Amino acid sequence: MSAHAPVAAAAADTAGTAGTASTVAATAMDDTAVAGTAERLTVRQNRGMDSASSFPQPLLRHPLRRIGAREFDFSRQVAVMAVVNRTPDSFYDRGATFALDHAVRASLAAVAAGADWVDIGGVPFAPGPELPVAEECDRVLPVVRAVRAASDCVISVDTFQPEVARRGIEAGATVINDTTGLFHPELANVVADSEATLVITHSLASPRTQYPHPRYNDVVVEIGDYLLRRVELAMARGVPEQRIVIDPGHDLNKNTLHTLEITRRLGELTALGHPTLVAVSNKDFIGETLDAPREARLEGSLAAMVACILAGARIVRMHNVPESVAAVRMTEAILGVRQPAYLKHNMGEFNTHE
């Protein structure tokens, strides 16, 4: 018997001969409730894009962002960041865009496919020998210049080196994507002296070093605390809050269980009030979860990406651009922040599209 059954039984006994009247009244109330629900549904349908969403979205302190020539309202849109690695040893593409012409062609193809943003890197995150700054610049800067000459898209340089950041901004980059969480704090000064945006990523290890057994008491809480401290550091060095983006660092110094929990509880991090970037594309946590090799992780990547968007992520760093753009735009429509491209199905006389 349910906990409410004794209350219901007592009410029935008290009602006595008034049972029939109560039934009639209850039926009338039910009819009113149904009518009210239908009215509310009709209002929501008529309101269209203003409909309430069942997915709570973060309240950003600075949702409106101008990044270079592009303007974003991160309360109503998601930016797709394409990955272009000018490295011979990237974990995913294995050097496919290491040649300069291949890197430039891949960047412009990504923009043509709908990417808002191109992230250009010359050094992989994975452990390995340190690359001289001059060589990193030789890899990255020609791509930045070529893409900037052809497009007004957002260009980020994936680097933790202040000198590479400075020269990247001079070449036309509008974002510095530091996957080490300001391992070199002076990088924040470089960004502060420009109009560029800074991405601060959670990462515990020194750049390009092993971190074989990461341990956390509460991975999400610790990431949040770390990111807030790093945001404070960047602001103390002159970077305005409205030019800061945070990234929880999926898989960076974390195992698969950590990364799944980050994805599951991402809303706790997007609630910090800063636009959140997620880099989930083709990563090991997807491969281990699905027992999938690198070339078979697209579906898992898209699923993780959509889950992050529903939890409030506003920038997604992805390899497979056409598929990612389609998934992002569909998710925006589900959230009620993007209109369908056209309306035809069951639209009757309002059908003006063939």
Nearest-angstrom CA–CA distance, 98 and 293: 22
Per residue, the 3-state secondary structure of 174-214, as one string, reads CEEEECCCCCCCHHHHHHHCCCCEEEEECCCCCCCCCCCCC
Helices H, strands E: what count in the chain? 12, 10
Q: Residue holding tokens 């910090």?
A: 272
Token output for 122 = 């010359």
Q: Is 344 a catalytic residue?
A: no
Are 58 and 271 within 8 A, CB to CB?
yes
- The amino acid at 155: I
Tell me the Ramachandran region of residue 62: left when phi exceeds 0, alpha when psi lies from -120 to 50, beta otherwise: beta
Burial of 205 (0-12, 13-18, 19+ CB in 10 A): middle
Nearest-angstrom CA–CA distance, 109 and 116: 12
Name 49's Cβ contacts closer than 8 Å, sequence gap at least 6: 336, 337, 338, 339
Helix, strand, or coil here: 62?
A: coil
The one catalytic residue in 254, 283, 297, 314 is: 283
Nearest-angstrom CA–CA distance, 234 and 247: 14
Nearest-angstrom CA–CA distance, 106 and 325: 15
Tell me the Ramachandran region of residue 173: left when phi exceeds 0, alpha when psi lies from -120 to 50, beta otherwise: beta
Q: Is 317 a catalytic residue?
A: yes
Q: Which of 155, 65, 64 shows the shortest CA–CA distance to 116?
A: 155
Residues forming the active site = 283, 317
